[in-house]
């Protein structure tokens, strides 16, 4: 009995020693540059969204980041990078939980940074990015990383949108050209329906990306989330008219059934399976289409009410640095490495996302398939990311805007507008 007890005690002491040893190691990094000379290594915690098809896929975020991190660690022996990849549906809530529990990552790569600024959780871009790297970023994109004139968000990748159409289904329905206006779109959708296509227009207004799909349609009618003066205008007459049109399309059975419950990914997969005639997508949807066996598709500008869109939805994802754990110098090294290495191009190759640096765009300019999107980037319109209300509005849009297709558009959009303008 006493022997066993002694064993337990030994084990406990050993564990305590091991734990305190670990503590000492990471403690060295917290002090910043001065303490690091002692030879302790610093572990950076990086949390990133998964642009791939999940943990088991060849293009998983884990594999991509492992490549980047291995290369970085080989060049920077004192710094370790621990990566946690989270899928897009869960990353917002999981990161919020981390922050709520005070377990901030050092580096976060996701779709929004603005929510963290107000709480003073982020390093300024100047503190963690060298001037050389900063000047390589596309100005228009970097501009959106600023809150009240100070940059906090670093553009990570970008994307633009266009209309994808299934050429085989179009031929079967006797349509020779993609639609340019809403009227043409409706007429084409009717032809597709007659030709037996179950979802002539794929309309994902469910939780995953309702805010993107809605925005594209708003733009087609000169609307948007905010008006020219920067005031919220979600229930503007243009936007209500837009959803009234969508409501008619849906009522005629020309769209995805019950759009308010459908995720973008599902609809893209249906498009890949040849069940959908047209759908809005981006370069990142091409791999999904091709993986699903659809290669004969065309890409065109998105139809607007009276003509194709001159702008497109520029989507920009961000990378940012949290200041809670110190590690400023190490983060800076990692960022400078990331933007100067081949990582950015690897993202474009693997995920068909667009770069955010001048050098990156130059490298890709030879790719014919991406050219329409690269050309569209300068004209892009962005979400009102910099408004602190955006995250709350975004949550509400994702949950409820699909109801405008089945219910009263003015009422549904009005309720979201109320959230945007409240307190």
The tokens 């791999």 sit on which residue?
287
Question: Does residue 58 belong to the site contacting other proteins (CB under 8 A)?
Answer: no
Of residues 200, 249, 245, the one with CA closest to residue 223: 245
Interaction with other proteins in 195-224: which residues (CB under 8 A)? 198-199, 206-207
Nearest-approach distance from CB 402 to other proteins, in angstroms: 6
* Beta carbons of 152 and 124 less than 8 angstroms apart: yes
Chain centroid to Cα 199, Å, comes to 26
Question: Does residue 253 belong to the site contacting other proteins (CB under 8 A)?
Answer: yes
Q: Which is nearer to other proteins, 343 or 415 (CB)?
A: 415
x/- letters, 97..126, toward other proteins (CB under 8 A): --xxx-------------xx-xx-x-----
User: Looking at 160-168, 325-333, 361-369, 390-398, which segment touches other proteins (CB under 8 A)?
Assistant: 390-398
Give me the phi and psi of 72, to 5 degrees please. -65, -45
Question: Quick one: 218 exposed, middle or buried, by C-beta within 10 A (0-12, 13-18, 19+)?
Answer: buried
Pairing of strands 162-166, 276-281: antiparallel
User: Looking at 239-247, 266-274, 287-295, 337-345, which segment touches other proteins (CB under 8 A)?
Assistant: 266-274
Question: Does residue 41 belong to the site contacting other proteins (CB under 8 A)?
Answer: no
* Count of positions on this chain that bind other proteins (CB under 8 A): 36
Reading the block at residue 61, the tokens are 């975020």
Question: Does residue 148 belong to the site contacting other proteins (CB under 8 A)?
Answer: no
Query: What does the angle CA 124 – CA 81 – CA 343 come to, to the nearest 5 degrees?
Result: 75
Q: Which is nearer to other proteins, 6 or 273 (CB)?
A: 273
Nearest-approach distance from CB 134 to other proteins, in angstroms: 26
User: Looking at 52-60, 225-233, 258-266, 354-362, which segment touches other proteins (CB under 8 A)?
Assistant: 258-266
Pairing of strands 276-281, 199-202: parallel
Q: Which is nearer to other proteins, 195 or 419 (CB)?
A: 419
x/- letters, 59..98, toward other proteins (CB under 8 A): ---------------------------------xx--x--
Question: Does residue 277 belong to the site contacting other proteins (CB under 8 A)?
Answer: no
Would you tell me the crossing angle of helices 390-400 and 210-219 to the nearest 10 degrees? 90
Q: Is the dihedral of CA 251, 257, 262, 267 positive or negative?
A: negative
Taking the C-alpha atoms of residue 168 and residue 174, their distance in angstroms, rounded to an integer, is 10
Give me the phi and psi of 233, to 5 degrees please. -140, 50
Taking the C-alpha atoms of residue 320 and residue 51, their distance in angstroms, rounded to an integer, is 17
Instruction: Return residues touching other proteins (CB under 8 A).
Output: 92-93, 96, 99-101, 115-116, 118-119, 121, 198-199, 206-207, 253, 257-258, 260-262, 266, 270, 273, 275, 391-392, 395-396, 399-400, 402-403, 406, 415, 419
């Amino acid at each position: 009995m006493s022997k066993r007890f002694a064993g337990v005690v030994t084990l406990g002491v050993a564990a305590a020693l091991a734990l305190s040893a670990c503590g000492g190691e990471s403690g060295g990094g917290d002090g910043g540059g001065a303490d690091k000379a002692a030879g302790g290594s610093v572990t950076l915690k990086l949390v990133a969204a998964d642009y791939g098809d999940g943990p088991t896929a060849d293009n998983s975020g884990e594999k991509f980041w492992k490549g980047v991190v291995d290369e970085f660690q080989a060049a920077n022996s004192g710094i370790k990078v621990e990566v946690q990849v989270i899928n897009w549906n869960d990353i917002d809530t999981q990161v919020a939980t981390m922050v709520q529990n005070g377990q901030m990552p050092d580096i976060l790569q996701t779709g929004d940074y603005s929510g963290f600024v107000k709480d003073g959780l982020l390093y300024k871009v100047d503190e963690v990015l060298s001037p050389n790297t900063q000047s390589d970023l596309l100005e228009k994109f970097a501009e959106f990383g600023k809150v009240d004139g100070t940059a906090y968000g670093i553009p990570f990748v970008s994307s633009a949108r266009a209309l994808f159409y299934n050429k085989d289904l179009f031929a079967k329905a006797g349509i020779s050209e993609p639609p340019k206006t809403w009227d043409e779109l409706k007429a084409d959708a009717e032809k597709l329906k007659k030709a037996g296509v179950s979802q002539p227009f794929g309309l994902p207004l469910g939780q995953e990306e309702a805010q993107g799909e809605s925005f594209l349609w708003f733009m087609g009618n000169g609307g948007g989330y905010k008006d020219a003066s920067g005031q919220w205008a979600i229930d503007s007459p243009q936007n209500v008219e837009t959803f009234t049109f969508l409501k008619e399309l849906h009522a005629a059975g020309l769209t995805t059934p019950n759009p308010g419950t459908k995720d973008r990914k599902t609809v893209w997969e249906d498009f890949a399976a040849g069940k959908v005639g047209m759908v809005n997508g981006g370069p990142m949807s091409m791999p999904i289409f091709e993986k699903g066996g659809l290669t004969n598709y065309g890409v065109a500008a998105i139809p607007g009410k009276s003509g194709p869109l001159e702008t497109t939805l520029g989507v920009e994802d961000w990378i940012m640095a949290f200041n809670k754990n110190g590690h400023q110098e190490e983060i800076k090294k990692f960022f400078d490495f990331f933007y100067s290495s081949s990582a950015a191009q690897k993202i474009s190759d693997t995920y068909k996302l667009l770069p955010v640096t001048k050098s990156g765009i130059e490298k890709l300019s030879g790719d014919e398939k991406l050219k329409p999107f690269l050309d569209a980037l300068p004209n892009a319109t962005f979400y009102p990311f910099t408004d602190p209300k955006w995250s709350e509005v975004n949550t509400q849009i994702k949950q409820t805007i699909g109801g405008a297709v089945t219910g009263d558009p003015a009422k549904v959009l009005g309720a979201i507008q109320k959230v945007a303008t409240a307190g």
